Amino acid sequence: MSRIGKLPVSIPAGVTVTVKDGVVTVKGAKGELSQAVDARIAVAVEEGQVVVSRQSDERQERSLHGLYRALIHNMVVGVSEGFSKTLELVGVGYRASNQGQLLELSLGFTHNIFLQLPKEINVETKSERNKNPLIILSSADKQLLGQVCSKIRSFRMPEPYKGKGIRFEGEVVRRKSGKSAGK
C-alpha cells in the first residue's frame, strides 16, 4: 500500500470537496480548483476527510494512488491557506516592477522583459535600498505557481562564478573558483 496514498486528507472548516464523474472539485476562501482523476483510482469524501483508494496492486495504480492523494492535499491547502514563493534578483542593476498582472524585469539585457502573469497569481515586487529586489508570487494553485516561478527564473539562471541571476529566497548557489584556482 502506498504510504502517501493511504493517508486521508482532512478537510478544514470553510472548504468543500465534491467528487463527480471522475473530477474532484475543491472550493474555499482562496478560490476553486478542480482535478480530473484516473478511473482506476477511487476518491470518496467521508466524515470530514478525503480518502483515496485503488483497485489493485499494479505498478501504475500504486504510483497514481500517491500522486492523486498529493494533488488533492495540495488543492485543499491551496484554497484554505494558499501558497507563496519569493524570488530574489541578484546582480548589479537588476530590477523588477509590476503593473497589475504585467511583470517588468530589467536583467542586464538590451531590452526589458515583460511577462503577462495568469489571473490566478498575485504578484508583488519589493525594492529596498542596499537589498536585492524581490518578487513575491502567491496563488491557490501550487502547480501553476511553480510553473510561473520556473519561467521567471529561466530568464536569468544563477551562474556559478559570480552568483548573479534569479534565485529562490534562501537558495544556496554553489560557487566555482574560476581560473585563479590552478595557481
Say what the pLDDT of residue 177 is: 86
Residue pair 129/72 in contact (Cβ under 8 Å)? The answer is no
Query: Three-state SS for 123?
Result: strand
Q: What beta strand segments (E) does the chain contain?
A: 9-10, 16-20, 23-28, 31-36, 41-46, 49-54, 83-90, 95-99, 102-106, 113-116, 122-126, 134-139, 165-168
Distance of alpha carbon 126 from alpha carbon 108, whole angstroms: 18
In this prediction, residue 178 carries a pLDDT of 81
Mean model confidence pLDDT for the chain? 92
pLDDT score at 179: 82
The mean pLDDT value for 32-44 works out to 93
Reported pTM: 0.88
Across 33-62, average pLDDT? 92
Pick the residue with more confidence: 29 or 1? 29
Taking only Cα atoms into account, the Rg of the chain, rounded to an integer number of angstroms, comes to: 21
What the block records as the C-alpha cell of 72 is 488533492
What is the model's pLDDT at position 19? 94
pLDDT band at 180 (very low <50, low <70, confident <90, very high): confident
Average pLDDT in the 78-98 region? 94
Kindly report the number of other CB atoms within 10 A of residue 53's CB atom. 14
Taking the alpha carbons at both ends of the chain, their separation in whole angstroms is 57
